Structure 1
């Protein structure tokens, strides 16, 4: 699973930040409460049905992990609550676009590297870039072979060796981190259907259970109707 360096570089396609109008923001009280008075993050683990997704992957000859990354990034970028940031004074803002950072496992060293790529709503070129990155960095000996990650990226990790029913990251000063952290597990066959665990960790200041449930519902819809893989 990926862990971030203390400070991020600003290199890369840094997207614009839109300040939040606190006078009209419905979430202002919640943001202030869970950022200042009761700093709080939480994690939710869900089981998604990936039967149609897995079948379509085989038919389209696409790679599983790049497709998972694109689907997650697509849903994340639909909603302000998963693109939140704060400025140097702690005031809330929203990234125009956030980009996925993801892990690459080196089996010989039994370590991983964390890399990233710009999000592209067009699946095909995104898929090819991720495939190339995974190939390029699968033997990486440094944790961040591209250098420090940009500020406007969110984290995705894959644990393809393990099907889990619960997952949580205990991050020191995690209350300063507002972008989602997503962890994927191994597929599991049950009653003729294929399921995949996915854990979403998020700051309570920016998202409630309602928002994570919507993310899960929209991600499930993408995976159940995978015509975008073609």
Structure 2
């Protein structure tokens, strides 16, 4: 299993910010945006690849490109960074009106990740268990999908979650306007791990991935 790499506090520019938002003022925040996914949707229409899996891979690609979104805490509350973070995501059982949570190893090659994650969804789509493949390793981040409704704001209220530094994402239903397709995305962040600058950069880099979907075979 991967082990987190400790951050050198002596040279880390965010040391004071980290300590303030972890100890003095424990703080999380949420950010909801609309991503233009017109080209992405067009590419998926001509591909056998699954939209949800592609969305998860895109999120995982930017998560794994930025250390602030792969942070965790050691047992002594010191900051560290996972070498890789794997997506944990939900799948809906329409008959029972319940969902299950599974995880898949992230792979920078989209086709490799897609085939593994798609098989996982097929295998557990009728599951009656909350965690049919177990809770997953500690180096995961969470993705949920609400394809039944669009939204302009979404916020999670998590009790006693001050040690959870990994981001949490919620995807909404596509909206169309002026010939473009938009995807609502809510990003939940621990302020000890990332500031508004980092979240805005994440959104902009994710937008670039969707704008150039040449990675969708």
TM tier relative to shorter chain? over 0.9
Question: Following TM superposition, by how much is the alpha carbon of 1:219 offset from its aligned partner in structure 2, in angstroms?
Answer: 0.5
| 1:123 aligns to 2:110 (yes or no) | yes
Aligned to 2:8: 21
1:35 counterpart = 2:22:
yes
Separation in structure 2 between the aligned mates of residue 149 and residue 90 of structure 1, nearest angstrom: 22
1:86 pairs, out of 61, 73, 76, with 73
1:83/1:179 contact within 8 Å kept: yes
State whether residues 41 and 174 of structure 1, in contact with CA within 8 Å, keep that contact through their aligned partners in structure 2.
no
* Alignment match, 2:49: 62
- Mapped pair 1:181 → 2:168: yes
Instruction: Give the 4+ runs in structure 1 shifted more than 4 A.
Output: none
Find out whether 1:52 has 2:39 as its counterpart: yes
Moved more, 59-68 or 40-49: 59-68
Q: In the alignment, is residue 221 of structure 1 matched against residue 208 of structure 2?
A: yes
Quote the Cα distance in structure 2 between the aligned partners of 1:105 and 1:51. 25
1:192-203 correspondence runs (5 A): 192-203=179-190
Number of residue equivalences: 217
In 1, distance between residues paired with 2:209 and 2:47? 15
Output the CA distance in 2 between the equivalents of 1:148 and 1:46. Answer: 29
Find the counterpart in structure 2 of residue 136 from structure 1. 123
What is the aligned counterpart of 1:164 among 145, 148, 151? 151
CA distance in 1, matches of 2:126, 2:75: 37
Q: How far apart, in 2, do the equivalents of 1:17 and 1:99 lie? A: 13
Deviation of 1:175 after TM superposition, in Å, equals: 1.7
Gaps of 5+ in 2: none
**Normalized against structure 2, the TM-score is what?**
0.99
* Partners of 2:165 and 2:142 in 1: CA distance: 11
* CA shift digits 1:70-103 (9 cap, x unpaired): 0000000001100001111111100000000000
TM-score (ref. length: structure 1): 0.93
- Match of residue 150 from structure 1: 137
CA deviation after TM superposition for structure 1 residue 59, in Å: 1.3
**Secondary structure of 1:174's partner?**
coil
Q: RMSD over aligned Cα, in angstroms?
A: 0.7
Alignment check: 8 A CA contact 1:71 1:219 kept = yes
